[in-house]
Structure 1
Amino acid sequence: MAVGSRPLQQGPEKFRHPGADALVRAGVQEVVHRRPVHLHGSVVVGEPAVLDRLLAGGQDAQAGGGAQDAADDVGRRVDDVLAVVQRAAAAAPGFTVTGDDAEAVAEICRRLDRIPLALELAATRVRALGVRELSARLDDRFRLLDGGHRGTPARQRTLRAVIDWSWELLGDDERTVLRRLSVFADGCALEAAESVCGGDTDVLGPLIRLVDRSLVTVTDGPRYRLPESVAAYASERLAEADESGTVGQRHHSYYAALVERAAPRLHGPGQRQWVNRLDQESANLRTALERALRHGEPAAAARMALASTWYWFLRGRLSEARRSLGETLRVTGADRSGLRSRIALWHEGFALLAGEARQGPVPEAGRGGGERGGNARAVWFLGHSSLRAGEDLARSEILVDRALTSFRADGDRWGIAAALSTRAVQRLLRGDLAALRSDATGAHTLFDELGDPWGLLQSSYPLAALASITGDYAHASALHEQGLRLAEELGFWADAADRLTGLGRVALLTGDFRRAAALHRDARARAAEHGYAAGEVHAEIGLALGARRAGDLDLAERYLRKTLDWHREVEFGPGPALLLAELGFLAEQRGDAALALSLHQQGLAVAREGGDPRAVALAHEGLAGAHCLADRPARAARLLGLAARARERSGAPLPEAERGDVDRVTARVLAALGDEVFAAEFSAPGEDDPEPGHAGGPDGEDG
C-alpha cells in the first residue's frame, strides 16, 4: 500500500524496541522461557505464559519458509507487540499485559495487518477501552481509529485517511479490481480473481500493480489476499459503486461451480488433490453458501450444500455441515424437487456423527422400494453414520441394504463398495465372519480399482478385525498400521483414532498390556480432540479390558460402567454384550456369584438378540464361572462345552491371550468334578440356543 511513493507498511517510521533484535537472535525459546521483557519499568510482557500467547496469537502462516523466515516473522511480531504495549503504557500509566489480555493484544496486531499508524492509533484507545474491548470492536475500525496527532499530516491522522491517500493514487482499473477483490474471504487464486473481478476489465495487470503497492499480498500458490483493513475499506467502495450484488453473485457462481466440479472427484484417485484445493477455498465456499442462504435462494443453496457434503465429511467438519444443512433446510421450505429430502438425510447423518441422538423411523423408500442417484448415497450415509455413531444397528442395516439395492441397479460402483464396506462392519458386530470376509474383500477390491484412499481405509478395517479374531495378529497389526499412516496423511482423524484402538486391541491379544494402554489413551485423546464420541468410548473399552487383565478391578469397573451407560443411552444393539460379560467376570473374580450370574444372564440376552455366536459363547463362559462359584460345577462344565462347540462352529476359537477367564473357571470346575465327570458333562449334548432363564437349561439357576 503506498503513501506517496512509499509502501504503506513502511509508512511513518516503524517503532523498533532496542532489545528486539537481541530477542530474536537469542531464539523464541530464550524469550519465552527465560527472560522477562520490561518496558518503562512497570510493564512486563515476558512471563512465559504471556509471551507464548502474544507470539502465537499473532502468527501468520509462512508457507514453505525456512528458519530465517521464521526468525524474521518472530522479529516482526515482537516489534508489533512491543510497539502496542509501549504506546498503550504511555497513554495509560501502569498498563501491563497479563495472560488474560495477551491474546487480545496479539489479535489487534494481526487484524490491523501490522500497519504502524493503525497500531499506534489502537494503542491510544487502550486507556478508554482496554485491549479486549478494543479487539472486539475492530470490525468498526475506521470509526474507532479516528483522530491522530494534530502535528502530523492530515493523511496520517486516521486509518481511513491513510488508505484514502493510497486509493487516490490508483488508476480506475486498479480501483475496480481492488474493490472487487473485497468479496473474497481469506484470499483467492488468480483464476478466481480473473473470473470474479473481470468481465469488463483486465485483471492481471492491475493486480500486479496492486501487489507492487502492497495493497494486495501474495503467498505461495500464488494466492492473493487483501490486508483486513484494506478489505474493509474496499468493501465500502464496492457498495458505493453499486457492485456488491453483481460481484457477490459472480463470487457465488464461481465457488458453487468449483465445489460441484470437485464433488465427483472426491471419490477417486484425485481425492487428496481436490480435498487440498477445497481446504484452500474453505472460507470462500462458506461465504458463497451463506450468500445464497442470506438472499433466500433455495435452489442455489441446496445444490451447493449437497455438493459440499462429502468434503465436510472427509474433513470432519461436522458442526459446519450440520449448521449449513440445517439453514438450507430452513430456506428450502416446501421444496418439491426432492433435494430437500436428500438434504434432510445428510443432515441427520451429520447430527448422529456429532453425538446428537436424533434417531427417527427409517425414512420411506423411493418409488419401487429403492432410491436413485444422490438419494441412494444419502440413504447409505445415514446408515453408515448410524453405525459409526454407535446407534441403532438394525436401522443401519435396513438403510445400507436399501442403498445397496439401488447402487446395484444404477451400476454405481463407488456406492456398491461403500455399502459393502459398511455392511462388513455390521457383519462383524453380528459375528458372521464368512459374510464379513466376503463383503470386506469385495469392497476393498472395488475401492482399489476406483483408486479411492478413503474407501481403502474403510474396507481394510474389518479385514484387520477379522485377522485379529482368527489369530493372525501380525497381519492385523500390519493392516492397522497401514491404515493409521493413510488416515494421518489424509487428515482423517476419526479413522486414525479407530486404528490406534485397533492396534491397542491387538496389543491386548498378544499380552502387551503396557503398549495396549498407551495406544488406547492416545486413541481416546485424538477422538476427544476431534469430537468423535464413539471413538472415545471404543478406546475406553480397551482401557477397561486392559485394566481387568492387569488386575486393577476398580479402574476396570469405572470404565465398564461408564461405557455401558453410553451404549444404553444410544441403544446400540450388540454393544453391551461384551461390557456385561466383562462386568460379570469382574464380579466373579470378587466372589459375588449372584451379581455375576445376573450380569451374564443380561449379557446372554443381548448377545442372542444381536445374533453374534461369539458373544453368546462368551456369555456361556461367564455363566459357567458364576455357576461354579455358586457350587453348581456340573452346570458350569456343560456351559463350557456349549461355548467351546459354538466357537468352533463360528471359525473363531478363543484366542490364547483371552483364555484367562475360561482357564480359571475350568481349573475350578475340574477340581470340583474330577477329570472323568468333567469330560462327560463338557461333552453332554444340550440345546445350543436355549431360552433365557429356562429352568434346567444351560443358563438357568437350577440343576
Structure 2
Amino acid sequence: MRYGVLGPLAVWDAEGRPVKIPEAKVRVLLADLLVHGGRPVPAGRLVEDLWAGSPPGGSANTLQTKISQLRRVLGRERVVREPAGYRLLLADGVVDALRFQELAERARAHREPAVKGDLFADALALWRGPAYADVAEAPFARGEIIRLEELRLSVLEDQAEVRLVLGEYSALAAELGELVARHPLRERLRMAHMRALYQAGRQGEALRSFQELRRQLAEELGASPGPAVSALHEAILRQEPHLAPPAAGRPRRRTNLPAPLTALIGRREAVGRVRARLDPGSTARLVTLTGLGGVGKTRLATAAARDVAGRFADGVWLVELSGLSAGSTPDDIAERIITTLGLCDTAATEPDLDDLVNWLGQAVADKRLLLLLDNCEHVVEAVAALAGTVLSAVPGGHLLVTSQEALGIPGEVVHPVPPLALPEDTDPAAVARSSAVELFVERAAAAVPGFALDADNAPAVSAICRRLDGIPLALELVAPRLRTLSPEQLAACLDDRFTLPEVHARGLPARQRTLRRMLDWSWELLTADERTVLRRLAVHADGCTLASAEAVCAGPDLPAGRVPDLLARLVDRSLVVREAGRFRLLESVAAYGAERLAEAGEEAAVRAAFVRCYTALAEDADDRLRGPDQRHRLEHLDAETVNLRRALDLAVAGHDAGHALRLVNALAWYWFLRGRLTEARRSIQAALAAGGPAAPAARRAARAWLTGMELRTSPAGATEVPAGRDPTAGLDDPVLRARLQWFVGTGLTGHGRHLEGRCLVEASLTGARAARDRWGEAAALVERAGHAPGRGGPQAELGAALFQEIGDRWGRLRATRALALVAEVDGDRARAERLHREGLLVAEELGLWTEAVEALTWLGRTALSGGHARRATELYERALSISVERAYSRGEIHAEIGLGRAARLRGDRETAGHHLNRALAKIRSSGHTAGAAEARAELDLVARPDGVRRSSEWRVR
C-alpha cells in the first residue's frame, strides 16, 4: 500500500490503483495513524481525536469497530495492536510526505542546477492540495500540517533559487507573484521574487516589492527587513553587475548530445577539420563522415558537434537511426527527427501530415540548427532523399551524417575517418606517440589498474596495435584481456588467431576483415551462456534495461536469474556498454550479434520473445498511465520508444497480428498524451493490416482508436465516420468501451459533429458508471461540463475531484481548464486565472506544450483585459518562445496577435504592426485561418488615430 497525505487522504495498492476507505471516521482514524508516522497511538488518544473530545458511550468498542473496518481494507497485518497502542506498519517510501522530504534532500545535495530543479519539481508534484485536507481542522493534525506546509514553502524557495540560476526569470517573476501575496513576510521568497523581477527587466517592480515588504513588516510586526533582503535592495538600486542575467538576450544552448564517458584520443586535428566545415557561415551544409564500422565515426561526430553547439541558436541534436529497418522511408526518418526535436507533441495539430518530410522542413524553416544523423548506412537512400528536401527548405540548417558510405547528393562534403595512427617502430618513445597505442594503453589501464607502457612491453603493445590496424573498437575489445594475459601473450594469441583461415570475412576490405576477426576471436573466448546472451541482446534496437534483457535472453536453456551475472561479464569484456542503467551493444558488435543469432537458428524465437516482452511492457505502462505514476510511466515509454517501434515492426513483418494489435492498443493513450497522433495513425493502420490471427475484440478496439486519431488529425469533413454509428460497438470490455466512446465522442465534437459527439460522451458516462470506472466517469463529466459551461460547474467539480483522487495529472489539467471556463462564464476572473496557472504548471510538468501555450495565451488575454499590458507581454513572449521551439504554428499566431495587442495598448504602434504582420504571414504560410480576422481587426485599430477599440468591439477571446 502507498499513502497520500499531501492533499486529500488517498491510498493506492501495489499496482497503483486507488483503494477506497469507507466511512468518514475510518478515514480520520487512518489520518491519525499516519500523522504519528508509524509510532503507536494509545487507544484513549485515538478516541479523543476521532470524536474531538466528546466521545460517545461505548467509544472503546466503537473504536475497535473502526479498527476492524480499516484492517479489512488495508490488511490485518498492517494495523497492529501493541502495549503502547495501535500502530500502522509503514515500509520505506510508502507515504508521499516522506517521499517529498527524500526528494528535497536529494535535490539539496546535488551540485548540478538542472538536476536539482528536476528533483525539486518531482517533490512538489507530489502535492495534490493542502496537506491532510480531509482533517485540516482536527487538533491532532494541525502540528503536522504546519510542519509540512513549512517544508513545502522551503522547497518552493529552493526551487526558485535554482530556476534563477537556470535563467527562468520572466516565468518565475509571474509565478512567484501569487505566492508572495499569500506569504508576504517570507523574506527569502521575497528575495527570489525581487531577483526574478529585476533580471526580467522589471527593476521598478522589484523595488516596489521591497517597499511593500518594509511596510507590512512595520505594520504587522513592528520590524524592519533583514540584512540579506536589504542588501539585495541596495544592489538593485545600484544595478550591481553580479545581478545581471548571464548571457543576457541569448537563448540557452539546447542539445541532446551525450556527455563523453572517456576522452577522445587521436582525433584532435580531425575534430578541428569537421568543426570548421560545420560553421554556420560555411557553404558546406551537409558533412558526411565515412569509414568502416568500429573506426570511431560517432565519437568524432559528437565531439565536433559538441564544440559548435554555441553556434546554432536552435540547438544541436543527435538522431540515432540504427534502430530503423533497412526498408525505412524518408517519412520514417522525418518522424524520428520530429520526435527528437520535441515537435511530435504538436505535429498532430498541423495540416498535411501525410508528408512528414515537407512538414518537417516547414516546421524548422526559420531555425538555425545542426542535426547529427548517426548510423545511416542501412538507410542511405532514404536519408539522401530527406537531406535534399530539408536542406532546401531550411537555410539555417546543417546536417552531419555518419555512414559507411556517402549519401551521394549535390553539396555533400565527405570526410573519411581513418583508423588511429600506428607506431612506426618498437622504440618506446615512438610507440608512445601513436594514437592507437595511446587508446590501447588508456583502456588497458582502466581494465588493469597500474598498467603502463614501458620499455619491456612496448614491442608487444606495438604489435597488438598493428595487428588490429588501429581500429578503435578492436583495441577497446582486446584491452580487457590483459586481466588474464600479459601483453606478449596477448600479441601471440592475436598472431595465432589471425593466421587461421578466414571463414566469415570474404569480400570485405582488409581493415574490415581485421575487425571481423577480432570479433570472432572475442566470441570464441566467451562461454556458451555468454554467447547466448550477447547474440540475443542484438535484437534490441536501442539498448535495454536489465528486466528486458532477462525477458528476452532467458529461455529453456538459460534461466533468467543468470542473465545479470552474464551481462556483467560482457560489460567487463567491453562487448556490452552500460550507460545510465541501460545496456547496449556498439554498432559493429550488434551487427555481429545479429549474424550469430541467425546462425544459431534462434532469430524467430528471440524476435518473438522481444515482441512479447515489449507488448507486456506497453500493457503494464498503459495500466499506470491514468494514475499517480503517470509522469514516470510517460518517461519510461519515452525511453523505450525505439524498441517499441521495433517490436511493432517485427510483429507486423512476422504476421503476428495478435501482438501487433495488443501493442498499438496499449500504446494508443501514450501516443495521445504525447501528441503523436500521426505516429498512432500509421502504427494502428499497420497493425490492422498485419496478417495472422487476432482476437476480434482487439481489432474492434484498434479500429475505434484509429477513428479517434483520424478525427483529430484530419480536416473537417475528411474523415468518414458514418452518422449514427458507434465505432465501439461489439467491445465486450465495459471499461474499455466507455473510454473509447469518450475518445471518439470528443473527436467528433472537435470535428464539428456536436450532437453525435455528445451522444457518445453520454453513453460513455453511463457505461463508466455502470462499470465503476472512476477515470472514465471523470473524463466524461469534464467533457460534459465543457458542452454547457454556464451549467457545468458541478460536473466539472466532480470530475476534478475524481481525477484528483485517482492521481491523474493529465485529467486534473483537463478538469482545471473546464473549471476555468466555468469561472469565466460566472465572471470570476480571479479564480479563472488561478486555475489556468495551475493548469500551466501541470502542462509544463508533463511536457504537454500545446496545453502550456493555451494557458499562457489565456493568461495574457486576462492581463490585457485588466490593463496590465507589460505583464501580458511577458506571458505572450513565453508562449511564443515555446511555440517556436516546438513548431506549434497556431500557438505562434495567437502569441504574435497577443503581443501586437499588448504593444498597441502600450502605445507602441510600430511594434504592434510588426507582430500583427508576422501573425498574418504565418497564417498565410501555415494554411491556418483561425486568427486572421482578429489580426486584421487589430491592424485596423493600430491605424486609427486614437488606436482604441470601442467598448462594443471588445471581447475576451
TM over 0.5, shorter chain = yes
CA distance in structure 2 between the aligned counterparts of 1:254 and 1:328, rounded to whole angstroms:
17
Match of 1:224, SS?
strand
Counterpart position of 1:205: 565
What is the identity, as a one-letter code, of the residue corresponding to 2:629? G
Cα drift, residue 248 of structure 1: 0.7
Question: Once the two structures are superposed, what CA deviation does each residue of 1:215-244 show, in whole Å capped at 9, x if it has no partner?
Answer: 111122x22111122111111111111111
> RMSD over aligned Cα, in angstroms?
4.7
The structure whose residues are more often helix, as a share, is 1
Provide closer, same or farther for how the CA distance between residues 541 and 567 of structure 1 changes in structure 2, counting only shifts above 3 A: farther
Provide closer, same or farther for how the CA distance between residues 206 and 554 of structure 1 changes in structure 2, counting only shifts above 3 A: closer
Counterpart position of 1:699: none
- Structure 2, unmatched stretches of 5+, are 1-252, 303-371, 381-402, 407-415, 423-462, 470-510
Match of 1:379, SS?
helix
Confirm whether residue 272 of structure 1 aligns to residue 631 of structure 2: yes
Provide closer, same or farther for how the CA distance between residues 467 and 452 of structure 1 changes in structure 2, counting only shifts above 3 A: same
Cα drift, residue 256 of structure 1: 0.5
Cα drift, residue 479 of structure 1: 2.1
CA distance in structure 2 between the aligned counterparts of 1:208 and 1:485, rounded to whole angstroms:
41
Confirm whether residue 374 of structure 1 aligns to residue 374 of structure 2: no
Match of 2:541, SS?
coil
- Tell me the TM-score normalized by structure 1: 0.61
Confirm whether residue 526 of structure 1 aligns to residue 815 of structure 2: no
2:669 maps to which of 289, 292, 310:
310
Provide closer, same or farther for how the CA distance between residues 467 and 326 of structure 1 changes in structure 2, counting only shifts above 3 A: same
CA distance in structure 2 between the aligned counterparts of 1:471 and 1:110, rounded to whole angstroms:
66
- Structure 1, unmatched stretches of 5+, are 1-54, 63-69, 90-94, 120-131, 592-658, 666-703
Contact 1:513 1:546 in 2 (8 A): yes
Cα drift, residue 329 of structure 1: 2.7
Identity of aligned residues (%): 36
Contact 2:889 2:922 in 1 (8 A): no
Question: Once the two structures are superposed, what CA deviation does each residue of 1:460-486 show, in whole Å capped at 9, x if it has no partner?
Answer: 012223334544443333222222222
Counterpart position of 1:246: 605
Match of 1:267, SS?
coil
Counterpart position of 1:192: 548
Provide closer, same or farther for how the CA distance between residues 355 and 133 of structure 1 changes in structure 2, counting only shifts above 3 A: closer
Question: Once the two structures are superposed, what CA deviation does each residue of 1:293-317 show, in whole Å capped at 9, x if it has no partner?
Answer: 1112222211110011111122222
- Which one is further off, 553-562 or 462-471? 553-562
Counterpart position of 1:287: 646
Counterpart position of 1:507: 863
1:161 maps to which of 509, 517, 533:
517
Provide closer, same or farther for how the CA distance between residues 344 and 112 of structure 1 changes in structure 2, counting only shifts above 3 A: farther
Counterpart position of 1:411: 772
CA distance in structure 1 between the aligned counterparts of 2:539 and 2:602, rounded to whole angstroms:
10
CA distance in structure 2 between the aligned counterparts of 1:184 and 1:280, rounded to whole angstroms:
13
Counterpart position of 1:171: 527
1:474 maps to which of 830, 835, 842:
830
CA distance in structure 2 between the aligned counterparts of 1:436 and 1:205, rounded to whole angstroms:
59
Cα drift, residue 260 of structure 1: 1.0
CA distance in structure 1 between the aligned counterparts of 2:287 and 2:880, rounded to whole angstroms:
32
CA distance in structure 1 between the aligned counterparts of 2:712 and 2:294, rounded to whole angstroms:
34
Match of 2:788, SS?
helix
Cα drift, residue 379 of structure 1: 2.8
CA distance in structure 2 between the aligned counterparts of 1:134 and 1:520, rounded to whole angstroms:
37
Provide closer, same or farther for how the CA distance between residues 155 and 242 of structure 1 changes in structure 2, counting only shifts above 3 A: farther
Counterpart mapping for 1:527-676 below 5 A: 527=883, 529-530=885-886, 532=888, 535-536=891-892, 538-539=894-895, 542-543=898-899, 546=902, 661-662=950-951
Provide closer, same or farther for how the CA distance between residues 282 and 581 of structure 1 changes in structure 2, counting only shifts above 3 A: closer
Contact 2:823 2:831 in 1 (8 A): yes
Confirm whether residue 226 of structure 1 aligns to residue 585 of structure 2: yes
Counterpart mapping for 1:373-392 below 5 A: 373-386=735-748, 391-392=752-753
1:298 maps to which of 657, 664, 688:
657
Counterpart position of 1:420: 781
Counterpart position of 2:48: none
Cα drift, residue 378 of structure 1: 2.2
CA distance in structure 2 between the aligned counterparts of 1:147 and 1:108, rounded to whole angstroms:
7
- Tell me the TM-score normalized by structure 2: 0.46
- Which one is further off, 325-334 or 249-258? 325-334
Confirm whether residue 261 of structure 1 aligns to residue 620 of structure 2: yes
CA distance in structure 2 between the aligned counterparts of 1:664 and 1:84, rounded to whole angstroms:
61
CA distance in structure 1 between the aligned counterparts of 2:629 and 2:545, rounded to whole angstroms:
19
Counterpart position of 2:508: none
Cα drift, residue 206 of structure 1: 2.0
Contact 1:354 1:532 in 2 (8 A): no
CA distance in structure 2 between the aligned counterparts of 1:245 and 1:193, rounded to whole angstroms:
17
Match of 1:296, SS?
coil
Counterpart position of 2:489: none
Give the count of matched residue pairs. Answer: 503
CA distance in structure 1 between the aligned counterparts of 2:870 and 2:293, rounded to whole angstroms:
45
Provide closer, same or farther for how the CA distance between residues 269 and 380 of structure 1 changes in structure 2, counting only shifts above 3 A: same
Counterpart position of 1:331: 690
Provide closer, same or farther for how the CA distance between residues 112 and 511 of structure 1 changes in structure 2, counting only shifts above 3 A: farther
Contact 1:386 1:393 in 2 (8 A): yes
Counterpart position of 1:216: 576
Provide closer, same or farther for how the CA distance between residues 61 and 558 of structure 1 changes in structure 2, counting only shifts above 3 A: closer
Match of 1:187, SS?
coil
Counterpart mapping for 1:320-359 below 5 A: 320-331=679-690, 337-354=696-713, 356-357=715-716, 358-359=718-719
Counterpart position of 1:397: 758
- Which one is further off, 210-219 or 473-482? 473-482
CA distance in structure 2 between the aligned counterparts of 1:539 and 1:416, rounded to whole angstroms:
34
CA distance in structure 2 between the aligned counterparts of 1:421 and 1:262, rounded to whole angstroms:
24
- Which one is further off, 539-548 or 202-211? 539-548
CA distance in structure 2 between the aligned counterparts of 1:193 and 1:450, rounded to whole angstroms:
32
